[in-house]
Amino acid sequence: MGIIETSAALGACLLVLTIAVVLDRRPYRPGKRNYIPVMIIALAASLVLTESFAALVGEWARQAPVLKQRLVALSEKSLTPPQRHLLTAIYRELGGDEVMLAGVNLLQGTMSPYFHERGLETQFLERRTYGRSGSFVLMPRDAKRARAELFQAVLNDPTRREAAFSILGQVEVWRIEHGRPTGEPRHPMIESGVPWPPLSFMETHTPA
């Protein structure tokens, strides 16, 4: 399907899901229909179509710098949960430092969906083909800017502090497992004066 067909199908699935939720929340009465199977099917289809739509938009944005800039700028806007979910999927498709930094703006509470699965991995690790077997090895990718931005969120943004701290911790685990890129300092922002890792800072600035 093309982008128009995919967006229309995604909209239809979300509409069906919304209607099913509303109908299922009506007061119980004998013979009331069970809408949970419909909700599950609509939700599963929405997830699949979201990934397909994100892939199409990502491919389009890679060829159209103006569109990519508009997508990056959206991270600074006030977004609804569905918009945030769709934008994180598009960001996973785009990749790159600029998108990684925009993805930091989507952090709320714990780790953002943007950083789940390959979204996080592809920003900090690079897959390199190994021999002719079709397999690959993971190599560290330089991410000085992204790590500094995340550390800045830990220090100055309570709404994103825990998520940014979690991501920095995961990146440090990968650096131990796969090595650290040449030129990337262990401390994300040594000029801040806050020790790395910022365990004491987190203890004093995280609500009990």
Please report which helix (H) or strand (E) contains residue 126, including its range. Answer: strand 125-130
- State residue 74 phi and psi, 5-degree precision: -65, -25
Whether residue 142 contacts residue 184, with contact meaning beta carbons closer than 8 Å, is answered with yes
Q: Which two tokens mark 104?
A: 């930091």
Beta bridge partners of 137: 128
The predicted pLDDT at position 22 comes to 63
Supply the mean pLDDT for the chain: 76
pLDDT value of residue 44: 62
Structural contact between residues 6 and 56, judged by C-beta atoms closer than 8 angstroms: yes
Residues 125-150: pLDDT tens digits? 888 887 777 788 888 888 888 899 88
User: What is the Cα–Cα distance from 93 to 83, expressed in whole angstroms?
Assistant: 16
Q: Cα separation of 171 and 180, whole Å?
A: 10
Q: Give the model's pLDDT for residue 97.
A: 72
* Helix ranges, 25-107 (H): 36-63, 65-73, 81-94, 97-104
pLDDT digits over 58-67, tens only?
Answer: 888 888 888 8
The whole-number pLDDT of residue 104 equals: 72
- Crossing angle for the helix pair 97-104 and 144-156, to the nearest 10 degrees: 10
The reported pLDDT for the residue numbered 114 is 46
Cα→Cα distances 166→15, 71, 151, 198, Å: 34, 25, 11, 12
CB 167 within 8 A of CB 114: no
Q: What is the pLDDT of residue 20?
A: 54
Q: Which residue has tokens 């995919």?
A: 6
pTM: 0.63
pLDDT of residue 107: 64
Which portions of the chain are predicted below pLDDT 50? Answer: 2-3, 109-114, 117
